[in-house]
Amino acid sequence: MIQRYENLEAVSQAAAELFAARANVAVRDRGRFSVALAGGNTPRRAYELLAQKPLCDSVPWSQVHVFWGDERCVPPVDPRSNYRMAREAFLDRIPLLDSQIHPMRGVGDPDEAALEYERELRQFFADGQPRFDLVLLGMGDNAHTASLFPGLPVLEERTRWVSAVYIVELQMHRLTLTAPAINQAATVAFLVAGADKAQPLKEVLQGPRDPQRLPAQLVQPVDGELLWLVDKTAAARL
Ligand code: 6PG
Protein backbone atom coordinates (compact mmCIF):
# COMPACT_ATOMS: atom_id res chain seq x y z
CA MET A 1 0.00 0.00 0.00
CA ILE A 2 1.39 3.44 -0.95
CA GLN A 3 0.94 6.26 1.58
CA ARG A 4 1.75 9.72 0.22
CA TYR A 5 2.98 12.48 2.51
CA GLU A 6 3.72 16.18 2.02
CA ASN A 7 7.41 15.94 2.85
CA LEU A 8 10.14 13.98 4.64
CA GLU A 9 9.03 15.29 8.03
CA ALA A 10 5.56 13.86 7.49
CA VAL A 11 7.01 10.56 6.22
CA SER A 12 9.21 10.43 9.32
CA GLN A 13 6.31 11.12 11.67
CA ALA A 14 4.26 8.38 10.03
CA ALA A 15 7.15 5.92 10.20
CA ALA A 16 7.80 6.66 13.87
CA GLU A 17 4.10 6.24 14.67
CA LEU A 18 4.07 2.95 12.75
CA PHE A 19 7.08 1.76 14.78
CA ALA A 20 5.31 2.62 18.04
CA ALA A 21 2.03 1.05 16.97
CA ARG A 22 3.61 -2.21 15.79
CA ALA A 23 5.75 -2.34 18.94
CA ASN A 24 2.73 -2.14 21.21
CA VAL A 25 0.83 -4.81 19.29
CA ALA A 26 3.82 -7.16 19.18
CA VAL A 27 4.56 -6.79 22.88
CA ARG A 28 0.87 -7.24 23.75
CA ASP A 29 0.55 -10.36 21.59
CA ARG A 30 4.02 -11.96 21.84
CA GLY A 31 5.85 -10.22 24.65
CA ARG A 32 8.54 -8.69 22.43
CA PHE A 33 9.04 -6.51 19.34
CA SER A 34 11.77 -7.17 16.81
CA VAL A 35 12.65 -4.46 14.29
CA ALA A 36 15.30 -4.30 11.57
CA LEU A 37 16.43 -0.73 10.96
CA ALA A 38 17.19 0.83 7.61
CA GLY A 39 20.41 2.72 7.11
CA GLY A 40 21.18 5.72 4.97
CA ASN A 41 19.80 9.22 5.51
CA THR A 42 16.03 8.96 5.02
CA PRO A 43 15.11 7.16 8.27
CA ARG A 44 17.22 9.36 10.56
CA ARG A 45 14.41 11.82 11.33
CA ALA A 46 11.98 9.01 12.12
CA TYR A 47 14.51 7.61 14.59
CA GLU A 48 14.96 11.04 16.17
CA LEU A 49 11.18 11.34 16.66
CA LEU A 50 11.16 8.00 18.49
CA ALA A 51 13.53 9.44 21.08
CA GLN A 52 11.33 12.50 21.69
CA LYS A 53 8.05 13.00 23.52
CA PRO A 54 5.36 11.97 22.95
CA LEU A 55 6.46 8.89 21.00
CA CYS A 56 9.34 7.92 23.28
CA ASP A 57 6.84 7.42 26.10
CA SER A 58 4.55 5.26 23.96
CA VAL A 59 7.01 2.48 23.08
CA PRO A 60 7.49 -0.51 25.45
CA TRP A 61 11.27 -0.17 25.11
CA SER A 62 12.10 -2.90 27.64
CA GLN A 63 10.69 -5.51 25.22
CA VAL A 64 12.15 -4.05 22.03
CA HIS A 65 14.96 -5.76 20.11
CA VAL A 66 16.77 -3.72 17.47
CA PHE A 67 18.47 -5.30 14.48
CA TRP A 68 19.76 -3.87 11.21
CA GLY A 69 18.72 -4.63 7.65
CA ASP A 70 22.24 -3.94 6.45
CA GLU A 71 25.54 -2.47 7.52
CA ARG A 72 28.55 -0.98 5.90
CA CYS A 73 31.75 -2.91 6.68
CA VAL A 74 33.33 -0.10 8.65
CA PRO A 75 34.05 0.39 12.37
CA PRO A 76 31.01 1.33 14.52
CA VAL A 77 32.46 4.81 15.06
CA ASP A 78 32.81 5.44 11.32
CA PRO A 79 30.46 8.20 10.03
CA ARG A 80 29.25 5.73 7.38
CA SER A 81 28.12 3.18 9.97
CA ASN A 82 24.36 2.55 10.08
CA TYR A 83 24.82 1.46 13.69
CA ARG A 84 26.41 4.80 14.54
CA MET A 85 23.62 6.71 12.78
CA ALA A 86 20.94 4.86 14.79
CA ARG A 87 22.80 5.30 18.07
CA GLU A 88 23.16 9.02 17.49
CA ALA A 89 19.58 9.45 16.23
CA PHE A 90 17.82 7.55 19.05
CA LEU A 91 19.39 4.48 20.62
CA ASP A 92 21.69 6.48 22.89
CA ARG A 93 18.68 8.36 24.22
CA ILE A 94 16.32 5.54 25.10
CA PRO A 95 16.49 2.91 27.85
CA LEU A 96 17.69 -0.19 25.97
CA LEU A 97 20.08 -2.77 27.39
CA ASP A 98 23.00 -3.83 25.21
CA SER A 99 21.33 -7.24 25.03
CA GLN A 100 18.44 -5.57 23.15
CA ILE A 101 20.66 -4.03 20.49
CA HIS A 102 21.93 -6.44 17.84
CA PRO A 103 24.39 -4.72 15.50
CA MET A 104 25.98 -6.39 12.52
CA ARG A 105 29.76 -6.56 12.94
CA GLY A 106 31.22 -4.02 10.56
CA VAL A 107 34.84 -4.92 11.22
CA GLY A 108 36.77 -8.07 10.39
CA ASP A 109 36.02 -10.60 7.67
CA PRO A 110 32.64 -9.77 6.05
CA ASP A 111 31.75 -13.39 5.29
CA GLU A 112 32.42 -14.42 8.88
CA ALA A 113 30.42 -11.43 10.15
CA ALA A 114 27.49 -12.46 7.93
CA LEU A 115 27.58 -16.03 9.25
CA GLU A 116 27.82 -14.68 12.80
CA TYR A 117 24.77 -12.46 12.33
CA GLU A 118 22.82 -15.29 10.76
CA ARG A 119 23.64 -17.44 13.80
CA GLU A 120 22.41 -14.63 16.06
CA LEU A 121 19.16 -14.35 14.09
CA ARG A 122 18.61 -18.13 14.12
CA GLN A 123 19.09 -18.08 17.88
CA PHE A 124 16.67 -15.16 18.34
CA PHE A 125 14.05 -16.56 15.96
CA ALA A 126 14.11 -20.05 17.46
CA ASP A 127 11.08 -21.24 15.51
CA GLY A 128 13.02 -21.24 12.28
CA GLN A 129 11.93 -18.16 10.34
CA PRO A 130 13.22 -14.56 10.81
CA ARG A 131 9.76 -13.10 11.30
CA PHE A 132 10.69 -9.55 12.23
CA ASP A 133 7.67 -7.64 13.46
CA LEU A 134 8.86 -4.69 11.40
CA VAL A 135 11.53 -4.22 8.75
CA LEU A 136 12.26 -0.63 7.78
CA LEU A 137 13.85 -0.13 4.36
CA GLY A 138 15.07 2.72 2.23
CA MET A 139 15.52 2.70 -1.51
CA GLY A 140 18.43 4.06 -3.46
CA ASP A 141 18.12 5.98 -6.75
CA ASN A 142 19.16 2.74 -8.47
CA ALA A 143 16.30 0.88 -6.77
CA HIS A 144 18.58 -1.00 -4.36
CA THR A 145 17.29 -1.69 -0.88
CA ALA A 146 19.23 -2.73 2.19
CA SER A 147 22.47 -3.72 0.43
CA LEU A 148 20.71 -5.63 -2.31
CA PHE A 149 22.22 -3.80 -5.26
CA PRO A 150 21.45 -4.41 -8.95
CA GLY A 151 23.15 -7.37 -10.57
CA LEU A 152 24.57 -8.93 -7.40
CA PRO A 153 24.45 -12.72 -6.96
CA VAL A 154 22.82 -12.17 -3.54
CA LEU A 155 19.62 -11.21 -5.41
CA GLU A 156 19.26 -14.91 -6.27
CA GLU A 157 19.79 -16.08 -2.66
CA ARG A 158 16.95 -18.30 -1.53
CA THR A 159 18.09 -19.84 1.77
CA ARG A 160 20.58 -17.71 3.66
CA TRP A 161 19.28 -14.88 5.84
CA VAL A 162 22.43 -12.71 5.86
CA SER A 163 25.05 -12.24 3.16
CA ALA A 164 28.25 -10.27 2.67
CA VAL A 165 28.42 -8.33 -0.58
CA TYR A 166 30.95 -6.14 -2.34
CA ILE A 167 29.54 -3.00 -3.94
CA VAL A 168 31.88 -2.14 -6.81
CA GLU A 169 30.44 1.32 -7.38
CA LEU A 170 30.99 2.16 -3.71
CA GLN A 171 34.22 0.15 -3.36
CA MET A 172 32.78 -1.14 -0.12
CA HIS A 173 31.92 -4.43 1.53
CA ARG A 174 28.54 -4.60 3.20
CA LEU A 175 26.39 -7.02 5.15
CA THR A 176 22.73 -7.37 4.26
CA LEU A 177 19.61 -9.27 5.08
CA THR A 178 18.64 -11.30 2.05
CA ALA A 179 15.27 -11.07 0.30
CA PRO A 180 14.07 -14.36 1.84
CA ALA A 181 14.81 -12.96 5.31
CA ILE A 182 13.15 -9.61 4.66
CA ASN A 183 10.10 -11.33 3.16
CA GLN A 184 9.39 -13.29 6.33
CA ALA A 185 8.55 -10.05 8.16
CA ALA A 186 5.10 -9.27 9.50
CA THR A 187 5.40 -5.70 8.23
CA VAL A 188 7.88 -4.18 5.77
CA ALA A 189 7.82 -0.40 5.40
CA PHE A 190 9.81 1.50 2.79
CA LEU A 191 10.62 5.12 3.59
CA VAL A 192 11.24 6.99 0.33
CA ALA A 193 11.64 10.73 -0.13
CA GLY A 194 13.16 13.11 -2.64
CA ALA A 195 12.84 13.83 -6.35
CA ASP A 196 15.80 11.58 -7.18
CA LYS A 197 13.68 8.59 -6.13
CA ALA A 198 10.70 9.43 -8.39
CA GLN A 199 11.85 7.54 -11.48
CA PRO A 200 13.12 4.40 -9.70
CA LEU A 201 9.98 4.36 -7.55
CA LYS A 202 7.77 4.47 -10.64
CA GLU A 203 9.75 1.63 -12.22
CA VAL A 204 9.70 -0.48 -9.06
CA LEU A 205 5.99 -0.04 -8.41
CA GLN A 206 4.55 0.31 -11.91
CA GLY A 207 7.17 -1.03 -14.31
CA PRO A 208 7.78 -4.57 -15.50
CA ARG A 209 9.18 -7.04 -13.00
CA ASP A 210 12.97 -6.91 -13.29
CA PRO A 211 14.47 -7.50 -9.83
CA GLN A 212 18.00 -7.90 -11.14
CA ARG A 213 17.81 -4.27 -12.22
CA LEU A 214 15.29 -3.19 -9.57
CA PRO A 215 16.13 -5.11 -6.38
CA ALA A 216 13.43 -3.36 -4.31
CA GLN A 217 10.96 -5.45 -6.34
CA LEU A 218 12.26 -8.51 -4.47
CA VAL A 219 10.50 -7.27 -1.34
CA GLN A 220 7.22 -9.19 -1.37
CA PRO A 221 6.36 -10.30 2.18
CA VAL A 222 5.29 -13.97 2.20
CA ASP A 223 2.71 -13.46 4.93
CA GLY A 224 2.94 -9.82 5.90
CA GLU A 225 2.08 -6.33 4.88
CA LEU A 226 4.13 -4.09 2.59
CA LEU A 227 3.89 -0.35 3.09
CA TRP A 228 5.45 2.45 1.05
CA LEU A 229 5.70 5.71 3.00
CA VAL A 230 6.65 8.23 0.33
CA ASP A 231 6.76 11.98 0.07
CA LYS A 232 5.11 13.79 -2.82
CA THR A 233 8.34 14.48 -4.68
CA ALA A 234 9.22 10.79 -4.72
CA ALA A 235 5.65 9.95 -5.73
CA ALA A 236 5.55 12.59 -8.48
CA ARG A 237 5.64 10.08 -11.35
CA LEU A 238 3.21 7.54 -9.97
C1 6PG B 1 22.27 1.93 3.44
C2 6PG B 1 20.82 1.58 3.30
C3 6PG B 1 20.42 1.78 1.88
C4 6PG B 1 19.59 3.02 1.87
C5 6PG B 1 19.40 3.54 0.48
C6 6PG B 1 18.69 4.89 0.51
O7 6PG B 1 22.98 1.28 4.21
O8 6PG B 1 22.65 2.93 2.80
O9 6PG B 1 20.48 0.43 3.81
O10 6PG B 1 19.69 0.71 1.33
O11 6PG B 1 18.33 2.75 2.46
O12 6PG B 1 20.69 3.69 -0.09
O13 6PG B 1 19.55 5.78 1.19
P14 6PG B 1 19.06 7.27 1.53
O15 6PG B 1 17.96 7.10 2.54
O16 6PG B 1 20.29 7.91 2.14
O17 6PG B 1 18.59 7.89 0.26
Counted domains in the chain: 1
Query: 3-state DSSP helix/strand/coil percent for the chain, to nearest 5?
Result: 40, 20, 40
Q: Tell me the best of 147, 177, 182, 199 to mutate to test the pocket of ligand 1, counting ligand atoms within 8 Å of each CB and taking the most.
A: 147
State the residue range of the domain holding 195: 2-231
Residue 87 lies in a domain: yes
CB 82 within 8 A of CB 71: yes
Strands (E), the chain: 2-5, 33-37, 64-68, 70-72, 134-137, 162-167, 172-177, 187-192, 225-231
Residue 110 lies in a domain: yes
In this predicted structure, what is the pLDDT of residue 158? Answer: 98
- Take atom 13 of ligand 1 and give the residue whose Cα is closest: 40
Residue 171 lies in a domain: yes
Give the separation between CA 141 and CA 181, rounded to whole angstroms. Answer: 23
Residue 236 lies in a domain: no
- Take atom 7 of ligand 1 and give the residue whose Cα is closest: 39
Helix, strand or coil for residue 30?
Answer: helix
Residue 237 lies in a domain: no
Residue 141 lies in a domain: yes
Helix, strand or coil for residue 178?
Answer: coil
Give the separation between CA 98 and CA 216, rounded to whole angstroms. Answer: 31
Q: How many CB atoms lie within 10 A of CB 13?
A: 16
Give the separation between CA 68 and CA 74, rounded to whole angstroms. Answer: 14
Residue 76 lies in a domain: yes
DSSP state letter for 183: T
Residue 238 lies in a domain: no
Q: Say how many Å lie between the CA of residue 190 and the centre of ligand 1.
A: 11
- Mean pLDDT per 10-residue run, the chain (238 residues)? 98 98 98 98 98 98 98 98 98 96 98 98 95 98 98 98 97 98 98 98 98 98 98 98
Report the pocket of ligand 1 as residue ranges, CB < 6 Å.
38-42, 69-70, 82, 138-140, 144-146
Cis peptide before 54 (omega within 30 of 0): yes
Give the separation between CA 168 and CA 174, rounded to whole angstroms. Answer: 11
Give the separation between CA 159 and CA 180, rounded to whole angstroms. Answer: 7
Number of helical (H) and strand (E) elements in the chain, helices listed first: 6, 9
Helix, strand or coil for residue 181?
Answer: helix
| CATH number of the domain that residue 202 is part of | 3.40.50.1360
The H or E element containing residue 206 is helix 198-206
